[in-house]
Amino acid sequence: MALMLAVFAVGAAHAEKADREKPINLEADRVSVDDAKQIATFEGRVVLTQGTLMISGDRMEVRQDSEGFKSGTTWGKLAYFKQKREGYDEFIEGWAERIEYDGRADKVQMFNRASMKKGSDEVRGNYISYDANTEFFQVTGGGTKAADGADGRVRAVLQPKPKDRPAAQPPLPLTPTDAIGAPREALPPPR
């Protein structure tokens, strides 16, 4: 199982770098802000977007440190995380009852009924940690049987990757020749 997870982890990639420079947009039914503590609490159909990053859930707390870095915790029946991979036309997606995002470290942690998907590969467990800077996943099972009947083990589905095609042969070089005669005059059109 560790080998399978290592294969999944190798395929991960850095989060879209341009996202850090984009504005953060938040939507919710209600918000309360504590300026002194630099904490904002959003409730009811919460959606945060920043470039290709999207996090949604039922409730979200967003904190800002003295240097302006933001972190947050999102709760939901299943909260959701999505971000484009740097340099690829592909997204990393994750679901869990609680998702913690650290903007300074570019790290996402997912707790309880956690699952993460990259392309058609998927991994599930009780806890998933994804570090976009080091391209490292860590997945932990629950260890005991859950109320939903799951046995607490880590599960992974890894799709076979297409085999590399042989390299295309280079085109044949064209060389001029004098052996070709002058073009014929055009024939008159038929009557």
- Give me the residue label for tokens 């971000």: 83
Per-residue pLDDT of the chain (191 residues; tens, 9 = 90+): 333 333 333 333 345 566 777 888 999 999 999 989 999 999 999 999 988 889 999 999 999 888 877 889 999 999 999 988 878 788 889 999 999 999 888 899 999 999 999 888 999 999 999 987 777 889 998 766 655 556 778 988 988 877 766 666 666 666 666 665 655 565 566 66
pLDDT of residue 132: 79
pLDDT of residue 30: 97
Q: In this structure, are residues 61 and 41 in contact, taking their beta carbons and an 8 Å threshold?
A: yes
pLDDT of residue 175: 66
Q: What is the DSSP letter of 14?
A: -
pTM of the model: 0.71
Counting Cα atoms < 13 Å in the Cβ hemisphere of 105 gives 12
pLDDT of residue 7: 32
- Set out the domains of the chain in order of their start, with CATH numbers: 2-157 (2.60.450.10)
Strand partners of residue 106: none
* Two tokens, residue 136: 């490292």
CA distance 122 to 107: 18
Q: What is the DSSP letter of 144?
A: S
**Phi, psi for residue 2 in degrees, rounded to 5:** -60, -40
